Structure 1
């Protein structure tokens, strides 16, 4: 009986992760390795580190592919991930997606979005 409840819990958790109910689901598996990056990914530099970004997920190159990593604070991305939500903090607009907060900025005459750390409950 105990095995059945473990299987049920694992299935429920998997479904919740897939539909985005668990905060920061993309970052819940930082050891997940993918062989090929999704089409349309962009390269993002934070300091001297190079990341690949697509739809709210950040990747770093490793032997055999790319590993999913936490969103690096300071990363600037050209487009928000799908299903983000608008958050207002002290009169400023931010965007939140799976626990990652983005602040709109102007870059090269266009709006871009920087990953920031806010110390407030959203």
Structure 2
């Protein structure tokens, strides 16, 4: 009877672990070219003659009254990183990553780089 209780406790423990992993939400960068009608609290940034809108870690270009998801423009500089970014080391260098986009700290700003 005691061994049955131990087995049930172990099964319950692993069940909780797998349930916790099943609820994990993975946020990915939307496919380039996706068109949206509204974006939440966008920042307008100007880079190499083009206006970019940046919201929730996603880059957009305006097309009329809509916005098109685009690649992060290499070299554009931000004052703050998106919430949820993480630190990664690639070939011994420190980068900040969010939704597949890598940023490098330069002084008090962060620059989009391709790794």
Give the TM-score of the pair, scaled to structure 1.
Answer: 0.65
- Flag the 1:37–1:90 CA change in 2: closer, same or farther, 3 A: same
- Contact 1:20/1:98 (<8 A) preserved: no
RMSD, matched Cα = 1.8
1:32 offset after TM fit, Å? 1.8
Q: Which runs of 5+ in 2 are unaligned?
A: 1-24
Structure with bigger gyration radius: 2
Instruction: Provide runs of 4+ in structure 1 moved above 3 Å.
Output: 89-92
Question: For the structure 1 residues 82 and 69, does the alpha-carbon distance in structure 2 shift closer, same or farther, using more than 3 Å as the test?
Answer: same
Taking structure 2 as the reference length, the TM-score comes to: 0.68
* Count of aligned pairs between the two proteins: 91
Structure 1 unaligned residues grouped into runs of 5+:
1-18
